Amino acid sequence: MMSRRRQIYEGKAKVLFEGPEPGTLVQYFKDDAATAGREGVITGKGVLNNRISEYLMSRLNELGIQTHFVRRLNMREQLVRELEIIPLQVMVHNVAAGAFATRLGLAEGSALPRSIIEFYYKNAGLGDPLVAEEHITAFGWASPHDLDDMMAMALRVNDFLSGLFLGVGIRLVDFKLEFGRWWTSDEMRIVIADEISPDCCRLWDLKTGEKLDQDRFREDLGRVEEAYQEVARRLGILPEAGAVDLKAPKMMQ
């Protein structure tokens, strides 16, 4: 099934391997969950996030919003384009929740006057601090032009995903994107990287307000696996969730 591949990076949720062709990587999705103050395993999460991210990024690619996603390889792996990652997490907020609500003294669930974009510096040692455009351009993490591209893309993704999720009875409260630079022979493009999944989106059931994302783990609400499965099921990805064995196979690389 898998050939021996050189491991390039192991993060909290994924492992990156050298891809089969130059300029590609293989993203392996783990079941590990790590949030501030909590670590554990969400059985089957890797399989579901691989499928959910495949689905959402394929739809974005079809719309001309370029992502790194090339194709899914198997239950836990997908082929992506290798990018030079911009060391920022770009968050889009539609509804107040989590640390954003706490920091600004807003009640969780309160509507925002408009969608708000925030940037966090990707540096785990520093706890991924919130930064302003001033820091980003002064330290050269991204140019003003890169920032314009990222913000425009983030808002397009927000419009598309908000509508997509609304159609299946889910409110897209907020989400995080990562971006990277992709060089073709004569130009550079900003492309969406990493994953789009319940690990990095806040998703609330439209009717009940029930949380269907990683906050179930973060806040120890229980039924975490079920929430990820429910998102996949509503997106039409797992019509027969019961038939799929979501247990982690031994990693073979």
Contact positions toward ligand ADP, by CB under 6 A?
Answer: 9, 11-14, 16, 25, 68, 80-83, 85, 178, 180, 193-194
Residues 6+ apart with CB under 8 A from 224: 33, 42, 45, 214, 216, 217
Q: Which is nearer to ligand ADP, 14 or 93 (CB)?
A: 14
Which residue, judged by CB position, is nearest to ligand ADP in the bound state? Answer: 11
Q: How far is the CB of 30 from ligand ADP (least distance, A)?
A: 7
Q: How far is the CB of 24 from ligand ADP (least distance, A)?
A: 9
Phi-psi region of 194 (alpha: psi -120 to 50; beta: other; left: phi over 0): left
Q: How far is the CB of 12 from ligand ADP (least distance, A)?
A: 4
Q: Which is nearer to ligand ADP, 130 or 241 (CB)?
A: 130
249: number of Cβ within 10 Å: 13
Q: Are the CB atoms for 198 and 189 separated by under 8 Å?
A: no
Q: Which is nearer to ligand ADP, 178 or 213 (CB)?
A: 178
Q: How far is the CB of 232 from ligand ADP (least distance, A)?
A: 19
Q: Are the CB atoms for 7 and 17 separated by under 8 Å?
A: yes
Q: Which is nearer to ligand ADP, 32 or 230 (CB)?
A: 32
User: Residue 7: what residue type?
Assistant: Q
Q: Are the CB atoms for 19 and 26 separated by under 8 Å?
A: yes
